[in-house]
Amino acid sequence: MLANGIYLAKLRLVEPFESYPSPAQFVMVWVPGVKEMPMSISHYSCDGELTIVFRVRGVGTQKLASIGIGSVLGIRGPLGKGIAIRPEWKRVAILAGGIGIAPTPLLVSALTVHGCETHLFWGAKTRSELFDLDKIFVDKPDRIEISTDDGSYGFRGTVLELFKSVANVHSYDAVIAIGPNPMLRAVCEDMELKRIDPMVVMETIVKCGRGICGSCYIRGSTKLLCIDGPAFRCSEVMHHLRSLD
Amino acid sequence: MLANGIYLAKLRLVEPFESYPSPAQFVMVWVPGVKEMPMSISHYSCDGELTIVFRVRGVGTQKLASIGIGSVLGIRGPLGKGIAIRPEWKRVAILAGGIGIAPTPLLVSALTVHGCETHLFWGAKTRSELFDLDKIFVDKPDRIEISTDDGSYGFRGTVLELFKSVANVHSYDAVIAIGPNPMLRAVCEDMELKRIDPMVVMETIVKCGRGICGSCYIRGSTKLLCIDGPAFRCSEVMHHLRSLD
Amino acid sequence: MVSKLSVRVAGLHLEHPVMNASGILGATPEHIERLASYGFSAIVTKTITPQPREGNPPPIIVEIPNIGLLNAVGLANPGKNIVPKLVEVSKRLGKPIVISVGGSTPSEFLEVASIAEEAGADAIELNLSCPHAKGYGIEIGSDPYQSYEVVKTVANSVKIPTIAKLGLCDRIVEVASKVLEAGAKGLTLINTVRAMVIDVMTARPVLSNVFGGLSGPAIHPIAVRVVYEVYRELRPEIIGCGGVVDWVTAAELILAGARAVQVGTALMWKENIVYDVLIGLRRLIEHFGVRSIEDLVGYSHRV
Amino acid sequence: MVSKLSVRVAGLHLEHPVMNASGILGATPEHIERLASYGFSAIVTKTITPQPREGNPPPIIVEIPNIGLLNAVGLANPGKNIVPKLVEVSKRLGKPIVISVGGSTPSEFLEVASIAEEAGADAIELNLSCPHAKGYGIEIGSDPYQSYEVVKTVANSVKIPTIAKLGLCDRIVEVASKVLEAGAKGLTLINTVRAMVIDVMTARPVLSNVFGGLSGPAIHPIAVRVVYEVYRELRPEIIGCGGVVDWVTAAELILAGARAVQVGTALMWKENIVYDVLIGLRRLIEHFGVRSIEDLVGYSHRV
Ligand SMILES: Cc1cc2nc3c(=O)[nH]c(=O)nc-3n(C[C@H](O)[C@H](O)[C@H](O)COP(=O)(O)OP(=O)(O)OC[C@H]3O[C@@H](n4cnc5c(N)ncnc54)[C@H](O)[C@@H]3O)c2cc1C
Ligand SMILES: Cc1cc2nc3c(=O)[nH]c(=O)nc-3n(C[C@H](O)[C@H](O)[C@H](O)COP(=O)(O)OP(=O)(O)OC[C@H]3O[C@@H](n4cnc5c(N)ncnc54)[C@H](O)[C@@H]3O)c2cc1C
Ligand SMILES: Cc1cc2nc3c(=O)[nH]c(=O)nc-3n(C[C@H](O)[C@H](O)[C@H](O)COP(=O)(O)O)c2cc1C
Ligand SMILES: Cc1cc2nc3c(=O)[nH]c(=O)nc-3n(C[C@H](O)[C@H](O)[C@H](O)COP(=O)(O)O)c2cc1C
Ligand code: FES
Ligand code: FES
């Protein structure tokens, strides 16, 4: 357990992935006899150790949090497209909301390898949902700023408010936001005004993960999150994010 | 047509063989709508041109002889084990009876590549079953002797008699006989007296070619011609050859 | 000019013989648009039932490397009210649309079929063969009399062509004959085959539903056989389905007797499969020196 | 000492659960000897009919890469008189032998079964399910009443155990229930599935017999499903067959409910498969912390 209701799990794969996962790629985690759920890849070491970070929401994540060391899970992946890091990125801002922190270690590592400076802005509801980021990061972000909605730790307010108050969006070559859909919508709408088209790492309902069942579709677009995402440009998913209320 | 009832066919494979065939390996040749027959590989060039040499015996070979250029056949193979050429072989005698000549070009080429001297003894019933060996050999044997049962060409007598009269079996590191079963039996029995265990390339009924239908079994042994042969030591197949009358 | 690849099947005039198989996307307007972008000549929707169905919780698929796919989506669909929207987007994109219809009684099938007709769909495909959604499929489709009833009810009431989609069953020729008698204009052959996968390290069936339908390469030789047998006995208009992964697998179904083919599982590996198939089929037409793909329908029965 | 891998099934006491599947060799004494050398715990013969059968002319097999094999050997066998010789060699090698019996009427089955019993065979497997030899198989095996008659006739007359080998059919649970009622001590599930391959460049069916039986990896998920369903409903003694290619595929059948497994097609690729399977099963016994492989039979129904 990392924090209240937030867990880290290290899984040893029977067969290592065929290729090293890209940031934002995910796996389907099968808790035998219970269910299968999409989970971001937080970290992966080439010998086949996969790290996931998750928040308990319902029966699946609850069960996942309670199974013991040595239990057998099923893993399918890596799935999705992942974020392709551009050579011209020299400094990137990452806005993570809540459990949106999960995929950021892999993302920061990939950016770091590419010689890119990373600034992480992490917002949570309250202090008890925060934890020591050293526990999940293999490569550390160059800057970390934290907010809580209730001000119980760090900046009081949302992660977008934090970002706007302590950083200048124009000093970044890219902005990548990860978190609940309302947050992503807020980020996209805010940046739209500044004529910036950030990347957002989204969630929809993923069932097959292979582009055939259609459950993960992005409204108002022909995209499927499980094979085209989960990272999109705001411009690709605005209709979807707006249609969710 | 090479001679009376004997044909040569050059087949272009849609997909080249995965590996270069060994001497005595064979293919199953499917004449669509008619039947599928085992045929030795006479020659193979790496770009996928397969040569077979065959004698018309029944409906299958008849049809094969009559189809035109550009017809589509089905080829499965290479099948069987093929002859593994030993480094200590410096001079090898090949005794071919009748259409037993078919696999010899590939065999001579393989031996030649390994720096081995090859002496070919070929016997046929009569002159009309002979043809110019230059038409099938890519690498020429170092010595060629020919016999006909009726003496209409070359030595009068069987190929075994020819061999015994013009060559000394002890001057060879290996003897390989290819031909009808009675000939192979005669060769094996003759050599047995001399405590030599020649190799024989045999025929049995081959249907599946993959070791499962059992039609090609060698009597009195657990061997299957299609996967363990078609080349055997006399000692392995003596029981079989003797039980055929 | 009619192209060498255009075909007529069950009253549909298609630019070429490659449609998608029902259930691979096809449940929302967005899905229809994506399927259209794959190049299919007609769009087949996900099977639509009168009421929305949640479907099964994940795992709903198991990939079996090289062999195919096992799925138990469970006929998840938004229910009949989506039909007009699906038709509308397909029309806008200029693609004929076939509404796949599911139900547990003849009147449920009719309920959706009527909406489809009203909405302007080009045809109806009755899913009589889902092997894993209890009461909604193969139990009906393996029984000639129940199949007859469903097809009769629908074909008597709607004017657009009714296609019956059948699955693997013992009396497939008899079932095919009955549904044609009942008024089906064409047959889609075949649906998935009931199967299962067990995870040996936990001893648990992988699919939440335990059983699923096997699709992809594994069922292709079975599909070819069913198409061949049904064509040989009845010469109906057939849409072949099952394990089409390239032009060769498509061609086999056509030579066996199919006028068109559907592609499902292969989309998982090859989104550009339609063009792959069409290029191959065009070469095959030349190879046999015939005028059009229609001349190759059932050709194996004539050589 | 009884090993962790020994099993009892249908009256047979086996050193381990891996037998060969009927029809992969098994028609001559030489074949039996070869099968024994592969390490099987019991030898199953080729299906023997009263009279010798030539079988079909080649092509009798088509390999479908990765997927499996299509065969139409056509029940080629030397007829009933071979049976005593097959039994003799198997006894000499210390292996239990199961005579697979074929026929087109109950009395034909009995004819061969009686010889088998006299010769000292350990059991009889009635082949009620060949999908491509007309009148000799699945027509009987998909009909509960015909199956019942055949099994009853044989089981009433011979004292050695009768095993019924069934194929894929709509009413598999019903057929299984009837043959058990008729006196079968065990069931072998499943035989090959009727299928075909067409060569697209010539448009011709490849097999001389047109139709053949599909075996190997393609049918494995179907076999697991059939074993699971039949075990769940009837808890009979099952020998699982279909697509066993390694220990995992063997284990799936066992976890689904099979007490033993048979290996056919995989021998084409892997003559040492028996040891591969046994090593894996031994590890699985440890993994689950049970005493013996028998504890894992049908384990998937208990987790
Ligand atoms: C690409 C992707 C990556 C994800 N990565 C992470 C991660 O790294 N850490 C993490 O904690 N969570 C992650 N999630 C969300 C996670 O999948 C859900 O929290 C989980 O499925 C909930 O299952 P449950 O049984 O505990 O809850 P349930 O009781 O089933 O549902 C609770 C909520 O979870 C969401 N949910 C349920 N099923 C699904 C599904 N099949 N697909 C997506 N969302 C679902 C819904 O919003 C639902 O209301 C990710 C989701 C996606 C799509
Ligand atoms: C490994 C092997 C390699 C061969 N290589 C050649 C070759 O290079 N050139 C050549 O001319 N012949 C070769 N043969 C023999 C060839 O397969 C037969 O001549 C051919 O199958 C005859 O078919 P058919 O329809 O013309 O005659 P059929 O009328 O069917 O039979 C004529 C005779 O051919 C033999 N025969 C028939 N069917 C088979 C079969 N399935 N397998 C083996 N023999 C059979 C029998 O002796 C039979 O009496 C080879 C056979 C084997 C086993
Ligand atoms: C994920 C999935 C969902 C399916 N859903 C349906 C469906 O809703 N209705 C239907 O008639 N067939 C459905 N099928 C069956 C396919 O339409 C098709 O008959 C089968 O998959 C065989 O074709 P393929 O091998 O090309 O996939 C589904 C298949 C898959 C793989
Ligand atoms: C070449 C071949 C011949 C077969 N002959 C028989 C037979 O004579 N009797 C029988 O009951 N099953 C026969 N079968 C079926 C097998 O016994 C087995 O049920 C089937 O192949 C599935 O197992 P597999 O996937 O391990 O091959 C044959 C299968 C093959 C491949
Ligand atoms: S989850 Fe099935 S299509 Fe994306
Ligand atoms: S030909 Fe079938 S086993 Fe050799």
ipTM, two decimals, is 0.93
Mean per-residue pLDDT, A36-46:
94
Asked if the structure places residue C1 within a domain, the reply is no
Tokens of D38: 């592969």
The total of structural domains in chain D comes to 1
Report CA(B35)–ligand 2 centroid distance (Å).
11
Residue C174 C-alpha to ligand 4 middle, in angstroms?
Answer: 27
Q: Reply yes or no: is the peptide bond before residue A230 cis, omega within 30 of 0.
A: yes
Residues of C in contact with A33 (CB under 8 A): 202, 204
Asked if residue C220 is part of any domain, the answer here is: yes
For residue B34, count other CB atoms closer than 10 A to its CB: 17
Q: Which of D169, D123, D124 is nearest to D146 (CA)?
A: D169
CATH number of B6-79: 2.40.30.10
Which residues of chain C fall short of a pLDDT of 70? 1-2, 133-136
Q: Which two tokens mark D295?
A: 């504890």
CB atoms within 10 A of CB C267: 23
> Which chain D residues have a beta carbon less than 8 Å from that of B211?
25, 267-268
pLDDT digits (tens, 9 = 90+) for C141-189: 788 888 999 999 999 999 999 999 999 999 999 999 999 999 999 999 9
- Range with the poorest average pLDDT among A97-106, D67-76, D133-142: D133-142
Under 8 Å CB-to-CB from C289, ≥6 apart: which residues?
Answer: none
Name the pLDDT band for D1 (thresholds 50, 70, 90): very low
Nearest CA to ligand 3 atom 26: C264
Q: What spacing in Å lies between the alpha carbon of A8 and ligand 5's midpoint?
A: 25
pLDDT band at D138 (very low <50, low <70, confident <90, very high): confident
Tell the burial category of B196 from Cβ atoms under 10 Å away from its Cβ (0-12, 13-18, 19+).
middle
pLDDT surpasses 60 at D2:
no
Give the type of residue at C102. G
Q: Write the single-letter amino acid at A166.
A: V
Quote the tokens at residue B83: 């002859």
Query: Going by CA atoms, what residue is nearest to atom 40 of ligand 1?
Result: A205
Q: What is the pLDDT of residue D136?
A: 67
Q: Is the pLDDT of residue D33 over 50?
A: yes
Q: What is the pLDDT of residue B195?
A: 85
**Subunits adjacent to chain B (3 or more Cβ pairs under 8 Å):** D
Please name the member of D33, D46, D202 whose beta carbon is closest to the beta carbon of B72: D202
The verdict on a CB contact (< 8 Å) between D204 and B33 is: yes
Neighbour tally for D240: CB within 10 Å: 32
Q: CA-to-CA distance for B62 and B58, rounded, in angstroms?
A: 6
Contact A95, A163 (CB under 8 A): yes
User: How many Cα atoms are found within 13 Å in the side-chain-facing hemisphere of C290?
Assistant: 16
Kindly calculate the radius of gyration of chain D based on its CA atoms and give it in whole angstroms: 18
Give all strands (DSSP E) within chain C, no chain letters: 7-9, 12-14, 18-20, 43-44, 61-64, 68-71, 97-101, 123-127, 162-166, 186-189, 193-195, 198-199, 204-205, 212-215, 238-241, 258-263
C207: domain CATH number? 3.20.20.70
Read out DSSP for C187-256? EEE---EEE--EETTTTEESSTTS-EEEESGGGHHHHHHHHHHHHHHH---EEEES---SHHHHHHHHHH
How close is the Cα of B39 to the center of ligand 6, in Å?
Answer: 14
Its CATH architecture, for the domain A91-242, is 3-Layer(aba) Sandwich (3.40)
pTM of this prediction? 0.94
Name the DSSP letter for residue D291: S
Q: What is the mean pLDDT of chain B?
A: 93
* CA–CA separation, C61 and C72 (whole Å): 6
CA atoms within 13 A on the CB side of D240: 34
Token pair, residue C249, equals: 């697998």
- Judged against a pLDDT cut of 50, whether residue D64 lies above it is answered with yes
Which tokens go with B142?
């170092």
For residue D293, give its domain range.
Answer: 7-301
Which ligand ends up closest to the CA of C48?
3
CA dist C5 and C279 (Å) reads 10
**Is residue A26 in contact with ligand 1, taking CB distance under 6 Å?**
yes
B206 touches ligand 6 (CB under 6 Å): yes
User: CA B16 → CA B21, B37, B78, C248, distances in Å?
Assistant: 11, 20, 10, 18
B170 pLDDT higher than 60? yes
Ligand nearest the Cα of residue D27 is 4
Q: Residue B14, Cβ neighbours under 10 Å: how many?
A: 9
Hey, are the CB atoms on D203 and C66 less than 8 Å from each other? Answer: no
Q: Give CA–CA dist B27/B209, Å, rounded.
A: 9
Asked, for residue D97, whether it belongs to a domain, the answer is: yes
Please report whether residue C137 resides in a domain. yes
For residues D213 and D208, what is the distance between their CA atoms, to the nearest angstrom? 13
Residue ranges of chain A assigned to CATH 3.40.50.80: 91-242
Question: Is residue C219, in this structure, part of any structural domain at all?
Answer: yes
Q: Do D61 and B32 touch (CB under 8 A)?
A: no
Every domain range in chain B assigned CATH 2.40.30.10: 6-79
- Whether C2 is in a domain gets the answer no
> Chains A/B: 3 or more C-beta pairs closer than 8 A?
no
Share of chain A above pLDDT 90, in %: 78
Listing DSSP states for D50-85 in one string gives: SS-B--PPSP-EEEETTTEEEE---S-B--GGGHHH
Q: Is the pLDDT of residue B72 over 60?
A: yes
- Residue C169 is a catalytic residue: no
Distance from CA of D245 to the nearest CA of B (A): 15
**Do the domain assignments include residue D2?**
no
Task: Rank A235-244, D95-104, D131-140 by mean pLDDT and report only the highest.
Answer: D95-104
Q: Where would I find the H helices in A116-218?
A: 159-166, 181-193
Question: Which pLDDT tens digit goes with each residue over D187-228?
Answer: 999 999 999 999 999 999 999 999 999 999 999 999 999 999
Nearest to B30 among D30, D59, D267 (CB): D59
A167 closest CA partner among A121, A98, A107: A121
Selected for mutation to probe chain D from B212, B216, B237 (highest D CB count within 10 Å) is: B212
Q: Do chains A and C touch by CB distance (3+ pairs < 8 Å)?
A: yes
The minimum-distance atom of ligand 4 relative to the CA of D263 is 26
Q: Could you give the CA distance from residue C297 to residue C227 in angstroms, rounded to a whole number?
A: 11
| Whole-number average pLDDT of chain D | 94
State residue C1's pLDDT score: 42
Residues in chain C: 303
* pLDDT score of B193 more than 90: no
Q: In this prediction, what percent of chain D has a pLDDT beyond 70?
A: 98
The answer to whether D64 contacts C221, with C-beta atoms less than 8 Å apart, is yes
